[in-house]
Chain A
Amino acid sequence: MLTLESFTYRYAGARRPSLQEVSLELRDGEVLGLAGASEAGKTTLCLVASGLAPRTVGGSLAGRVLLDGEDTTPLAMHELAGRVGIAFASPATQLSGVAATVYEEVAFGPMNLGVPRDDVIARTEEALAALRIESLAERDPAQLSGGQQQLVAIAGLLALRPAHVVLDEPTAQLDPAGTAMVAAALAGLAATGASILVAEQKTDLLAAICGRVVVLDAGRVVLDGLATDVLANPRLADLGVAPPASVRLRRAADGMGLSPAALARLDGSLAP
């Protein structure tokens, strides 16, 4: 379990904190969605959960991050890398740039960890299989589409066998085809019982794969509960978050004063 305990974080030189007394739990086997307006603190929370903040990013903080109850403060970044993996929005900048093939790119993490060679191979093949991208193994990562590069990046962090996976707006820069690819991969991953924290503007995606959703506003947690409840909460729009398309439609229908029969037809068609 990954826990943020009343975490406050301010970037170096920033006027106000990006996270204020945030408490959050990512349980094993859970898929937790993170929503919020731009600059609400989603990226910062992802960086804190993965350990990059404050280690690589600098800044001042109060509060603790715990992994299975253990305070992560004394751990170095490379020690956390194998326990919490993180993927970002930009496909190309996540590639190491030193791998000629997707296989080597995915193996990059385990190679850094210094595990035995057979273990590196096992992990790489496991990660490629988990995302069903074995067919990309011999390709040059730089020549792939954005969606494919994102899958390679996610496979690269799966190869570290982290207990928790953090994804910061993984589909933000992708076209619909790429988004569908990544969404399917995440759904597959969730089905295997992986522990995932995914930040996204696309609430339809969160509705499809998350069990719980947390909403941030100006660095604070303002909503935390079951995905179906949170994503149907009428406050979402005021908090700068677009509700899922079906919720929006249903709410508009309520506002229109349709007959009960018409509403029933609509509900029937919206059911999966």
Chain B
Amino acid sequence: MGPRRSWAAAYHDAAGGLRMTDQDRVVATYTAAADTFDALPFWHEYGRRTVQRLALAPGARVLDLCCGTGAATLPAARAVGPSGSVLGVDLTPALVERAATITAAQRARGLDTEGSIWRRLRGVLPLAGPVLLGSITEVEERTMALEARGFTRPGRRTLLWWPPDSAPQRLARWLLLLAVPALVVARSLGWLGWLR
């Protein structure tokens, strides 16, 4: 397929944005939060503030590494608008497997991954490059496949399954629904002072 892909440009944009300040502090924070990563609103705030600091212009191309569930990816997408693009990359079993193959292929061409730290640093580009490029191509292919199956159709989708529902659950939902007007009434009558 045709168009030129300049991964160097994407890397550059991202390098401008991925500011690793105090490495130890960052590592400690991530490790401490690891178990509850995406449950924390902290990450959404962190993502939003990061994108704010980047001052992304509409039309920019952004690469979000270790994007998780999109704490920075989604604000970035809003910032760059329809003329820009954002690629979020994170670990999936398929990506891990792909990275392992890439590592093997580069080692087979003499890349030393068992030597000194300096030798191993020389491996960053040969190892990261194909991962990123491969992700870009894969995203393009996946997008085409999704669109060819009507993924972009506006409007409701048909659901095949309904989540299992039981009588007690339905009762609980009704009770919650009724509780709202009850609480409003109680509050206006001053009965439940602690509700302030």
Interface residues of A (CB under 8 A from B): 11-14, 18, 43, 47, 50, 52, 55-59, 76-78, 81-82, 85-86, 88, 90, 92-97, 104, 107-117, 120-121, 153, 156-157, 160
Contacts and interface: CB of A to CB of B under 8 A. Distances in A.
A88 B144 contact: yes
A14 B149 CA distance: 27
B146 A96 contact: yes
A116 B146 CA distance: 20
A14 B142 contact: no
B149 A96 contact: yes
Given A13-B4, A14-B2, A104-B160, A113 B145 contact: no
Contacts of B151: 78, 96, 112
Contacts of A111: 157-160
B144 to A, nearest CB: 5
Contacts of A76: 152
A157 B4 CA distance: 30
Given A11-B2, A13-B2, A160-B150, A92 B144 contact: no
A50 B160 contact: no
Given A110-B158, A117-B160, A43 B1 contact: yes
Interface in B13-36: none
- Interface of B, secondary structure class, is loop
Contacts of A47: 144
- Determine which residue in B149, B152, B156 has the highest number of CB atoms from chain A within 10 A of its CB, and name it: B149
Nearest to A84: B148
A81 B149 contact: yes
Interface string B151-174: 111111111100000000000000
Nearest to A94: B145
A90 B147 contact: no
B143 interface: yes
B157 A93 contact: no
Contact of A86 (B138, B148, B152): B148
Contact of A92 (B94, B147, B157): B94
B114 interface: no
Contacts of B160: 104, 107, 111, 117, 120-121
Contacts of A59: 2
Contact of A112 (B141, B143, B150): B150
Contacts of A13: 2-4
Contacts of A85: 148
A11 B152 contact: no
Nearest to A159: B149
A18 B2 contact: yes
B79 to A, nearest CB: 22
B16 to A, nearest CB: 24
B141 A157 contact: no
A153 B158 CA distance: 20
13 contacts: A78-B152, A78-B153, A90-B141, A96-B146, A113-B150, A113-B153, A114-B156, A114-B157, A117-B158, A117-B159, A121-B160, A157-B148, A160-B150
A114 B1 CA distance: 32
Contacts of A14: 2-3
A97 B146 CA distance: 10
A77 B145 CA distance: 11
